[in-house]
Amino acid sequence: MRVIGLTGGIGTGKSTLAAALAEMGASIVDADAEGHAAYRPGAPGWRRVANLFGLRVIGDAGSINRKALGDVVFNDPDAMRRLNEAVHPLIRARVEERLAALRDQGARIAVLHAALLLQAGWDDLVDEVWTVTAPPGAAAERLAARRGLTPDEARARIEAQGPQNVFVERADVIIENDGTSDDLRQKARSLWAERVESEGTTHDPD
């Protein structure tokens, strides 16, 4: 099974590209969805987050209030570091289980969709890295609209990911999302034909 790591800053359009790749036959492993599962009430991730930040990040139904958690960590680099140290190993373990299951099922192409693929050191799980980029203003507008944030909150969350050049410098493929969603889907189709159909699917990390 060949594994493509799909990453990029938040708001750049990774989810749209992942959906297009899924339509072409890729199996998607969404690290954010695995994070949601790790945060379920009573799960190890839930307990770790509750122990770190207390009731201020717990919602009325007992689940982690991700907006409240974001308000804490995106304004405090030390809090972000402690959160990542607590939950990244749990999410990675879930991702590894999903990839192993796909191999057992005979999947040909898997896409690990992870915003922090490079920062978390998960690129050892993939054969190559595809990075989606977008103009900063467009990314902030997209993020604010999707998550109900103010422009300042959206910019703060983008900046909290650290230097954006890390996404580009360590990429095997760079996809510039500077047009419409249809334009991005067309780029996905072209890349699939060029890098997947033409090169085969036998790659696998050591």
C-alpha span between 78 and 86 (Å, rounded): 12
Find out whether 15 and 113 touch, Cβ atoms under 8 Å: yes
Q: Where are the domains of the chain?
A: 2-197
C-alpha span between 86 and 121 (Å, rounded): 15
pLDDT tens readout for residues 50-93:
999 998 999 888 999 988 998 899 889 899 999 999 999 999 99
Q: State the alpha helices, DSSP H only, in 44-104.
A: 44-53, 66-73, 77-104
As a CATH number, domain 2-197 is 3.40.50.300
pLDDT tens readout for residues 127-162:
999 999 988 888 888 888 877 888 888 887 777 776
> Between vectors from CA 80 to CA 10 and to CA 144, what angle results, nearest 5°?
30
pLDDT tens readout for residues 12-56:
999 999 999 999 999 999 999 999 899 899 899 999 999 999 989
Find out whether 88 and 96 touch, Cβ atoms under 8 Å: no
The model's pTM: 0.85
For the chain, give me the number of helices (H) and strands (E)?
Answer: 9, 5
